[in-house]
Amino acid sequence: MKSALRIACSRQNLQQVRDFVRGHLTGRGFADVAVNQVVLAVDEVVANFIIHANGEDASQYLDLTLLLKNQALDVEITDQGDTIFLPVPAPAPDLREYIRQSRKGGMGMVLVNRLMDRVEFFTRGNHTVCHLSKVLT
């Protein structure tokens, strides 16, 4: 089953994204924990695209596609803006040091990588694409 959504690059659309993902997965027999993990991971990537790649420019938009085949979920988030946004993979920070310094932010992609089975960023033409995969149980 495939579903698609296009949103403007505004934080106000994050709830719509969460509802879209949850609606696509709910009622299919998947564990609530797995559904919540996917919702959180997609929300984080979309928020990064909105904030960091597009500067919350609501004239720009993102396309989100969900493809569910049996228990395998593939999520593709395509940034239709002009900026290439390829986050540099970073090692997981020392959480004790992170807390000691009272730092905020910077942990989202670490979390996404832990929640999903595969996370890939690449370009397609002049657009950035994030592909997320997870086998749901």
Instruction: Put the strands of the sheet holding 72-79 in their side by side order.
Output: 2-8, 61-69, 72-79, 127-135, 118-124
How much is the mean pLDDT over the chain?
89
Between residues 6 and 107, the one the model is more confident about: 6
Mean pLDDT of 92-108: 63
C-beta of residue 9 within 8 angstroms of C-beta of residue 19 = no
For the four alpha carbons of 2, 7, 88 and 22, in that order, the dihedral sign comes to: negative
Total length of the chain: 137
59 compared with 137, residue with greater pLDDT: 59
Query: Which pTM does this prediction carry?
Result: 0.88
Of residues 36 and 52, more confidence is placed in 36
CATH number at residue 109: 3.30.565.10
Enclosing domain of residue 51: 2-135
Is it the case that residue 110 has pLDDT exceeding 90?
no
Region 9-16: mean pLDDT is: 98
What's the total number of domains in the chain? Answer: 1
Angstrom distance (rounded) from CA 2 to CA 5 = 11
More confident residue, 59 or 98: 59
User: pLDDT per residue over 70-92, tens digit each?
Assistant: 999 999 999 987 677 767 665 66
Residues 124 and 91: their CA atoms lie apart, in Å, by 26
